[in-house]
Structure 1
């Protein structure tokens, strides 16, 4: 069975993964229920923000 997705695998360093885990732990501590976003969700959000800022900089240049 083949499944189509809109995602691709991206490799990160151990240091980058550790930083993502720290963000996840911080979010878990500040959550009333103790829930936190997944590592993948955190990485996607950060990547979206970085790409948006890069796109904005290119438009003003």
Structure 2
């Protein structure tokens, strides 16, 4: 089992078991919010074997590097 540290969308650390991840894709970028936040953030979504998904702050490239390393 290989645990990889990623960052939750709200900033906290997450430890992910790389063996349970089916695939990773870039999350849909949202435009400006109703509150004037037009800061587009890089994020990705991981899909797991159990049928759940998780959004993290890292880009797809960063995740692939961490899973490979």
Normalised by the length of structure 1, the TM-score is 0.29
Normalised by the length of structure 2, the TM-score is 0.26
Q: Which has the higher strand share?
A: 2
Q: Which has the higher helix share?
A: 1
Identify the structure with bigger relative contact order (alpha carbons < 8 Å, sequence gap 6+).
2
- State which structure, 1 or 2, has the greater radius of gyration over its C-alpha atoms: 1
